[in-house]
Amino acid sequence: MGLAVGGTDSDTFGIMGLGFDTLEATSSVYPSIMDDMVSQGLIGSLSYSLWLDDLRKSKCPLLLPISSLIWHFPDEKSTEASTGTILFGGYDTTKFSGSLTTLPIVPNGAVYNLLQVDWSSLSLTDQSGTTKYTADGFSETVILDSGTTVSKVPSDVFASLSQYFNLQAQSESDGSTGYYVDCNIASSQGSIDFGFSGVTIQVPFSELALSTGSGSCLFGLQPGDGILGDTFLRSAYVLYDLGNKQISLAQTVF
């Protein structure tokens, strides 16, 4: 690990590399922090589990993202926005319901360098029942990325969600389009259900209204593809097993 003591960008943030060594941003592969923990006998496998807990338990409001990938914290106090755990070398059975379902990590061509699996369906459940928004046979490879705040869904699926939630489009300062939702959905009953082979993760509506701190709420899903970020991962207990090239999922216990 290195400690930065100076810089020119106030938005610079640190990264602990917990992915495959093949994704390291250098010209040569070096032992990751997990490699070191295994070699020192601190953990028995190249694995870790992630539990992000409930967005509604945040100590202060999350603020509008300055990009689709990171949140901007304007002062030190705001970095206390949420709590959760990373457990190296194992998993905690008290943090999820049912049993873990194991999925193979999908290689990126011939190389394993992304933490991605096949996603097979999306549905919406409310008091009137469940509506499926993806067609039979739908399949998309998605990265389960804790470094991304929102989650991306196909444009046709997003159009249906936009109509259901009456989303409002707004141009952002970086030229992108953000989609905003009535903050009151945080108290509405319902969920967006992400289906994978053998497991469905239900994301409550309450996890999808991201406060901007100014009375408006960014919707936790945006149009796109390839990434399920924190708005999905908060509702999933995720075991990343790099050694066996597998990811296991279960419904989280907040």
Distances (CA, A) of 122 to 91, 194, 231: 26, 5, 14
Whole-model pTM above 0.75?
yes
Looking up residue 153, the CATH number of its domain turns out to be 2.40.70.10
Question: Into how many domains does the chain fold?
Answer: 1
The reply to whether 6 falls in a domain is no
Give residue 243's identity as a one-letter amino acid code: G
Give, for all 254 residues of the chain, the pLDDT tens digit.
566 677 666 556 667 778 898 887 677 778 888 999 999 999 999 999 999 988 866 543 443 333 333 333 333 333 334 578 999 999 999 999 999 999 999 999 999 999 999 999 999 999 999 999 999 999 999 999 988 899 999 999 999 999 999 999 998 888 889 999 999 998 899 999 999 999 999 999 999 999 887 788 999 999 998 899 999 999 999 999 999 999 999 999 98
The reply to whether 17 falls in a domain is no
* C-alpha Rg value of the chain to the nearest Å: 19
Q: Give the span between the Cα atoms of 67 and 50, in whole angstroms.
A: 23
Contact 195, 126 (CB under 8 A): no
The reply to whether 41 falls in a domain is no
The reply to whether 53 falls in a domain is yes
Q: In sequence order, which residues have a C-beta less than 8 Å from that of residue 56 and are 6 or more positions away?
A: 186, 206, 207
The reply to whether 181 falls in a domain is yes
The Cβ of residue 111 has, within 10 Å, a number of other Cβ atoms equal to: 10
3-class state of residue 31 by DSSP: coil
User: Tokens at residue 114, please?
Assistant: 């992304």
The reply to whether 243 falls in a domain is yes
DSSP output for 171-236? E-TTS-EEEEE-GGGGGS--EEEEEETTEEEEEEGGGSEEE-SSS-EEESEEE-SSEE-HHHHTTE
Distances (CA, A) of 120 to 93, 124, 142: 25, 14, 10
Q: 207 lies in which domain range?
A: 47-85+92-252
Q: Residues 225-245: pLDDT tens digits?
A: 889 999 999 999 999 999 999
User: Tokens at residue 191, please?
Assistant: 């969920």
The reply to whether 76 falls in a domain is yes
The b-or-e profile of 6-35 (16+ CB within 10 A means b, else e) is: eeeeeeeeeeeebbbbeeeeeeeeeebebe
The reply to whether 98 falls in a domain is yes
